[in-house]
Amino acid sequence: MSTTVELTRFTVAPERTEALLAARPGMLADFRADREGFLGARLVALPNGEWLDIVDWRSPEDFAASRAKGANLPGIAAFFAAIDSLVGVDEGVLTEFDR
């Protein structure tokens, strides 16, 4: 079985960066508690106030089910509230992993 990778790019105003980072642990805890197939996530700061959230899912169905739930828990809602705008969401399949 292949790992599904969610790539979400978004912007955050500089004055909201602290709020985003403070909300991250709560969002991850809520995902672990509520999102079937959630395997883990990495958050990458990009230039010009953009961010890339790389989230690994067990399957495309798990990713779709998570998207359908939206910001249904407080930790997730707090993280989403710090985001100014969504740049894009892509879905892929992990083909190689080296650590």
Query: What domains, with CATH codes, occur in the chain?
Result: 4-87 (3.30.70.100)
Answer whether 0.85 is exceeded by the pTM: yes
> What is the sign, positive or negative, of the torsion defined by CA atoms of 53, 30, 62, 88?
negative
Long-range contacts of 56-59 (CB under 8 A, 24+ apart): 56/3, 56/4, 56/5, 56/6, 56/94, 57/3, 57/4, 57/5, 57/6, 58/1, 58/3, 58/4, 59/1, 59/4
For residue range 6-64, list pLDDT tens digits in order. 999 999 999 999 999 999 999 999 999 999 999 999 999 999 999 999 999 999 999 99
Region of 67 (left: φ > 0; alpha: ψ -120 to 50; beta: rest) is alpha
